[in-house]
Chains A and B, each alone.
Chain A
Amino acid sequence: MTTVRHTNRSGSRRQRAAGRILWAGLVWTVGIASAAGQDRPVHWSHAGAMPPGAIGVQRLLRGGPLSGYCQPVDIRVPAGARIAPVAGGGFGQQYQDAVLVGLHVAGVYRFRVSDIPDFPEVEVFPTVELIDRLYPPQGKSLQFPVPIDLAREELLMAAQGRFITRVIYVEDPLLALPVSRADQQEQPWLEVGPGEDPLVAADGLGRPIAIVRIGGRVPTAGDGSFAYGPQPAVIYDRPPVEAAAKQP
């Protein structure tokens, strides 16, 4: 007697397996889609905490009309205070309220700010690192300097031990407010939140031009490298106000 065994395969089980696979694929696709929608971590090539001069040197290596260009920079201090750039082995002539200097890209320039109102004994030695330049009309670069405001509060905080990094940037034309400002009006500023990199924040708002670092370190005898080398910051005479006003 022969026993006939039928194979235990039915269409309903195959359909059930296919359904499982479809379910798993659907759920997996939903998970992957949500993961792909997240922002990927970004490694920034430049950070605000990099050594002074490093960003500018890397910027020079990228090429462009930067090497050798002398960018006028208008550094303004609180009314009544004095500022002096490095000259020779020390600090040169003091200028009251503001000084118009020419700086090179990738150079680190040390300044001395003294005679701060109500704090005559406080001296702060900020540095300015230029990492990019402006492109003013031909022959009018002195009328369009990079403005840098050293606020009184910042100078006092630095004297008390805080380390302040300020990034000067050119506004993105699409984000800039269409509001005219006077030449000597204080620069609008934006304070980044804790944990944020000021250079990254400035890069999102425009084109970073300069990095200002303010701390409370003071030079001592024999500290020859305090001034980052005797860079000669070119002192410019301010263009006459009348001539500047006539410019279109």
Chain B
Amino acid sequence: MKFQWTIVTACCVALATSAGCVGGRVAHNLPPSQRLMEPGPGVGGPGPGVITPASANMPMGGMGGGVMPAQMCGPMGGGCPPMGGMGMPAGSNSQIAFLGVEGGEVAWDVSGGGYFDSSPLVMPGRQNFNQGGIYRLKLANLPDRPGVELYPTLEVAPVTPRTDAFLAHSPVPVKFTDEDLDQVLSGNFVTKVIYLPDPEFQELALAGVETLVSTRLDPGVDPIAEADRRGSILAILRIGNLDLQSPGQGGMMGGQVYPAQYTEGCPDGGCMPGGAPMGPQGMPTTGFNPAAMPPHMVSGVTGPAYGMPHTGTPIGLPGPPHIPLGHQAGLTKHVMKNHTRVLMPPPVNKMKVTVKQRPGMNYPRPVNHVKIDETNRAPLRLIGGTLPPLLPTAVMNLGARLTAKDSCESCGGDGCEMCE
């Protein structure tokens, strides 16, 4: 009996092992996208000693003059101008397409928080928003809903390598449906997450964004977490019925006290009145942390220099944007322990690459023996040849010589140069 149980157990283990290998495609748990943008595990970059991408070495904007490099191009005598902008980013902004309520107007802050002083965008319409920011919008003039003004926030997610191609070519649709507005006006808080689904969650081969609405999910399901599980989040829209411009409303509009806020989102003065071209103004999603780097950011070229924190600390970590004045920094020890279980495969010691081309190459064997037999005379033929016959010719030559010897006039037969 014991023997039979052993056999049965072994069979079950073998079946489970084989069945586990058959079941579908293996999903891989990749590191976060921010880590994928680094040159390697544990290596920050691009820093000193790291090979810069080829795009950083290319001349930028080579449309004008410039030295024409020697190159192997130019069919029909034409030449190629130097390439510029290879791998340049398509922009660190996302184009938002406001849809749903045709005729409704959307406005956002331009010159200051809570002003909503942009030119109203009539839906359907599009507007570019910088990535990594939260923007307060004003939704007004909604058809069939006179007097209703809503102040949703739009969080535009930073670009990732997964979403870069999509954001560079397609707008992010943000749709206000009647159902959403009804839910909001009845006092509910609606969260809409627009995300780019991973290939395994796409219904079609065509890449198209999908939207998760909190009101359509089961209770307790976080739409942001669910969207993050299904793909890459592009934008988050949060709508409530808070009136920010009602009389006596505090907060953003009513009070004169503005909290000290981190203003990394507008470092070039673009947020100030009268400054350079102003875009939508919002709060960064990253708080005090450095903003997420787009995939095409090159340290020192299109982004801040690597290894230069905003402010220093005694232990070399990036400090807060402002060190409190009045006394010296007191932090002398900062311990961080990483308890993450990491299974990092070791590097390979030996690498073997096998190359086989099909069909193979079949060349003739090289020549190692050359035999040259060159004939420069006419062949000897007994009849019809071009050479005179041997024996008759010899007889004729002998006869001619004897005849000439006897009849030599110059020497009288004694032998001279002619008769010999």
Do A and B interact with each other, yes or no? yes
**Chain A residues packing against B (C-beta within 8 Å):** 16, 19-20, 23-24, 27-28, 30-32, 34-35, 38, 41, 43, 49-54, 56-57, 60-61, 65, 68-70, 72, 87-88, 102, 104, 106-108, 125-127, 139-142, 157-158, 161-165, 191-198, 213-218, 220, 222-226, 228-232, 234, 236, 239
Contact A38 B21 (CB under 8 A): yes
Do A102 and B80 contact each other (CB < 8 Å), given the known contacts A30-B14, A60-B54, A127-B168? Answer: yes
CB distance from A130 to the nearest CB of B (A): 10
Q: What residues of B have a CB within 8 angstroms of the CB of A24 in the complex?
A: 6-7, 10
The complex places the Cα of A72 from the Cα of B205 at a distance, in Å, of 29
CB distance from B90 to the nearest CB of A (A): 6
Nearest CB in chain B to that of A160: its residue: B208
Interface of B is mostly: loop
Do A228 and B90 contact each other (CB < 8 Å), given the known contacts A163-B170, A194-B203? Answer: yes
Nearest CB in chain B to that of A174: its residue: B358
Do A51 and B203 contact each other (CB < 8 Å), given the known contacts A41-B25, A127-B168, A161-B171? Answer: no
If A49-B199, A217-B168 are given as contacts, then 5 extra A-B residue pairs at C-beta distance below 8 Å, sorted by A number, are A23-B10, A31-B18, A50-B165, A161-B171, A194-B203
Q: Which of A68, A214, A222 contacts B277 (CB under 8 A)? A: A222
* Size of B's binding interface in residues, CB under 8 A: 73
The complex places the Cα of A49 from the Cα of B57 at a distance, in Å, of 24
Do A54 and B17 contact each other (CB < 8 Å), given the known contacts A20-B3, A161-B173, A192-B205? Answer: no
CB distance from A99 to the nearest CB of B (A): 15
CB distance from B295 to the nearest CB of A (A): 5
Contact A216 B170 (CB under 8 A): yes
15 A–B contacts, CB within 8 A, in A order: A23-B7, A24-B6, A49-B166, A53-B87, A53-B88, A68-B72, A69-B72, A88-B63, A126-B169, A163-B206, A194-B202, A215-B170, A217-B170, A226-B91, A231-B86
The complex places the Cα of A28 from the Cα of B13 at a distance, in Å, of 8
Contact B7 A65 (CB under 8 A): no
Nearest CB in chain A to that of B69: its residue: A68
Contact B75 A72 (CB under 8 A): yes
CB distance from B54 to the nearest CB of A (A): 5
A19, A192, A195, A197: which has the most chain B beta carbons within 10 Å?
A195
Q: What residues of A have a CB within 8 angstroms of the CB of B199 in the complex?
A: 49, 194-197
CB distance from A244 to the nearest CB of B (A): 12
Do A56 and B164 contact each other (CB < 8 Å), given the known contacts A24-B6, A30-B14, A70-B74? Answer: no
A57, A126, A158, A231: which has the most chain B beta carbons within 10 Å?
A231
Q: Which of B72, B162, B165 contacts A213 (CB under 8 A)? A: B165
Q: What residues of A have a CB within 8 angstroms of the CB of B205 in the complex?
A: 191-196, 198
Contact A217 B206 (CB under 8 A): no
Contact B88 A225 (CB under 8 A): yes
Closest 6 CB pairs of A and B: A229-B85, A215-B169, A31-B14, A215-B170, A70-B73, A68-B71
Q: Which of A16, A28, A31, A231 contacts B85 (CB under 8 A)? A: A231
The complex places the Cα of A35 from the Cα of B55 at a distance, in Å, of 44
Do A220 and B75 contact each other (CB < 8 Å), given the known contacts A51-B296, A52-B165, A106-B87? Answer: no
Q: What residues of A have a CB within 8 angstroms of the CB of B55 in the complex?
A: 53, 57, 106
A-contacting residues, B1-20, CB 8 Å: 3, 6-7, 10-11, 13-15, 17-18
Q: Which of A34, A127, A142, A218 contacts B75 (CB under 8 A)? A: A142
Contact B169 A53 (CB under 8 A): no
Contact A161 B202 (CB under 8 A): no
Q: What residues of A have a CB within 8 angstroms of the CB of B279 in the complex?
A: 222
